[in-house]
Structures are given as C-alpha cells and as structure tokens.
Amino acid sequence: MRVQLTNDELLSTTRVVRKRLDFSRPVERDVLEECLELAVQAPTASNRQEWHWIFVTDPVKKRQLGEIYASDEGEYVGLPWPELAPEDTRAARSEAVQDSAAFLRQHMGEAPVLLVPCHLGRVDNAPIATQAALWGSMLPAVWSFFLALRTRGLGSAWTSVHLRNERRAAEVLGLDYERYTQGGLFPIAYTVGTSFKPAARRPLAEITHWNGW
Ligand SMILES: Cc1cc2nc3c(=O)[nH]c(=O)nc-3n(C[C@H](O)[C@H](O)[C@H](O)COP(=O)(O)O)c2cc1C
C-alpha cells in the first residue's frame, strides 16, 4: 500500500501517532525491512553505522517492554511540562497530547511491533560532542524510518521514557547494556486512515536567528 503524498505533505504530516495506531492489524516483516533500507541512508558520524535495530514481535517481550514503559518512573504525562502562556500554540495541544500519551501508556505492549534502535557505545558521562555524535548517528535514521512508514500507511510514536529503565529493557532484549545505548521505544502499526494534518508550531520569528542569537 502506498500513500500518495508530495514531499512537502510527507514532511508536514508525519505525526506522532498513538490513538490511531491499529493494534489489530498485523504488520508484515518485509514492509519494515523496506522502511529500514531507506532509513539507513541517514548519515552517521565517521560513517560508522554502528546502529542496530531490534524489532520485537514476541508477545511476552512486548508485554514486558510495555510494562517497563508504563512504570511510574517512566510516566511521560507526569514529567514536568513547560509552563505556557495561553496564546502559545503549544498550550492548545497540551491536553490532547497528554490524553493521547496516557492512552499509549496503557497500550504500548499491544502494538504489532515494537522497535528499539540501539547504538554501540555509552555516552552517559561523555563530553557533549561525543553525546551528539552518538545520538546524531541514530536518531536521524529513526525519523527517516517514520517517514517511510507514513508512505506505506503505517505510523509510530516517538517515545523515550522507557530509558529511565533502560537496563531492565536491555535484559528483556538480551542486549548488552554496558556496550549499547538504546534510542527509544517505538510502537509500529498501520494507522487508522492515512489522512493527517500539519501541526501548529511556534512561529519561525520566535525561533529563527540570523548571524547570531
Ligand atoms: C525525544 C522525544 C521523546 C518523546 N517521548 C515521548 C514519550 O515518552 N511518550 C509519548 O507519548 N510521546 C513522546 N514524545 C512525543 C511528543 O509528545 C510529540 O513529538 C509531540 O507531542 C509533537 O507531536 P506531533 O508532531 O504529532 O505534533 C516524544 C518526542 C520526542 C521528540
């Protein structure tokens, strides 16, 4: 299945999808591999390509990862959210995002597939440039993966709170925590309908700087 979108439509309508993930419809492995082939065109520092992509379809492991995600330490909605003026575009969406996030918290383990991207090395106490090299060598590919999913009628939700319990997730995945950093937990499913809208974002005038701050 292909969703016909212009490049600009693809870039402006690829959303974090939670309530519109269809947990009842299976996801074919070859579609995921197709999306990953595209995603790994993303750049990596020194062209290392030390990324690994763990797809989880095993119901027991998905349930365990879902429990880790939903544990209190990982509560996304309970994190401090920014204080926003009522006219701020983000304020209007805040309640809907939190409601949708609460839904995902209950259902993460039911997604047909969970993805945990990993990268060789740990940067827990590393200089910022080293941290940037690791995250920058993993997360651009994850977003490309989201874009590829969207063109095929699938979607995902960007989540990172399970990393508060990263070690427990590593045990579930049989991953060497001391050697590999996980980048997030991504539920993958076909979306219910394929029509998504651009989101309201902060005006460029507030966030753009020319020739300095
Ligand atoms: C680094 C990062 C971490 C995030 N972590 C979570 C999370 O743990 N749980 C969740 O439901 N959403 C999470 N989100 C999704 C954000 O809430 C979402 O990107 C934001 O609301 C904008 O969504 P939109 O692009 O669909 O408007 C995360 C997003 C990013 C970029």
Instruction: For residue 160, give the amino acid letter.
Output: S
What are 10-23's pLDDT values in tens digits?
Answer: 999 999 999 999 99
What are 78-105's pLDDT values in tens digits?
Answer: 777 788 888 888 887 888 889 999 999 9
Does 74 score more than 70 pLDDT? no
The residues lining ligand 1, judged by C-beta closer than 6 Å to any ligand atom, are: 15-16, 76, 97, 101, 104, 157-161, 199
Give the pLDDT mean for 158-174.
97
Q: What's the CA-to-centroid distance between 145 and ligand 1, angstroms?
A: 15
Q: What's the CA-to-centroid distance between 31 and ligand 1, angstroms?
A: 24
Ligand 1 atom closest to Cα of 74?
8
Dihedral Cα 38, 39, 42, 48, nearest 10 deg: -110
Q: What percent of the chain has pLDDT over 70?
A: 99
Domains of the chain: 20-77+97-192 (3.40.109.10)
Contact 142, 186 (CB under 8 A): yes
Instruction: Round the average pLDDT of the chain to a whole number and report it.
Output: 95
In this structure, which residue's CA is closest to atom 8 in ligand 1?
A: 159
> What's the gap between Cα 132 and its chain centre?
18
Q: What's the CA-to-centroid distance between 160 and ligand 1, angstroms?
A: 8
pTM, entire model: 0.96
Does 73 score more than 70 pLDDT? no
In this structure, which residue's CA is closest to atom 1 in ligand 1?
A: 160
What are 100-153's pLDDT values in tens digits?
Answer: 999 999 999 999 999 999 999 999 999 999 999 999 999 999 999 999 999 999
Contact 96, 131 (CB under 8 A): no
